[in-house]
Amino acid sequence: MDASTRRYVAVIIKEKNSAYVATVPDLGAMFTTGDTIEEAKANLPDAIATHLNGMETDGRTLPEPRSRKAVLADIEEPVVEDYVIEIDVTIESGPNPTRRSAFGR
């Protein structure tokens, strides 16, 4: 990982009688859903890209990533899975999220 890449913790949340929710808590109010864990995870990169484009338009910068422990400590909903998303923040390519490694529950 170089200076143009940031690693964020992504989580999949599931409450009774609801869809799976995928989010990156460090990015704020940004999430996507899916009928399965795989669908929620697959939808997350597009949701992140849309959110990052909005941040860029508003002149906001990416927050510093927190540790996995810190992120999970702040979540009250049942976490099904958490994993790392790398976001390439190079100027020429624009922010680009990619899924990397998973932590099973």
pLDDT in tens, 1-34: 567 889 999 999 998 999 999 999 999 989 999 9
pTM summary value: 0.83
Tokens representing 99 are 């899924």
**Residues, the chain:** 105
Confirm if 59 and 103 have CB atoms less than 8 A apart: no
Count of alpha carbons within 13 Å of 15, Cβ hemisphere only?
Answer: 6
Kindly list the domain boundaries of the chain, sorted by start residue.
5-103
- How many of the other CB atoms lie within 10 Å of CB of 73? 9
pLDDT value at residue 102: 52
Q: Decide which of 3.40.50.1820, 3.40.190.10, 3.30.160.250, 3.90.1300.10 is the CATH code for 5-103.
A: 3.30.160.250
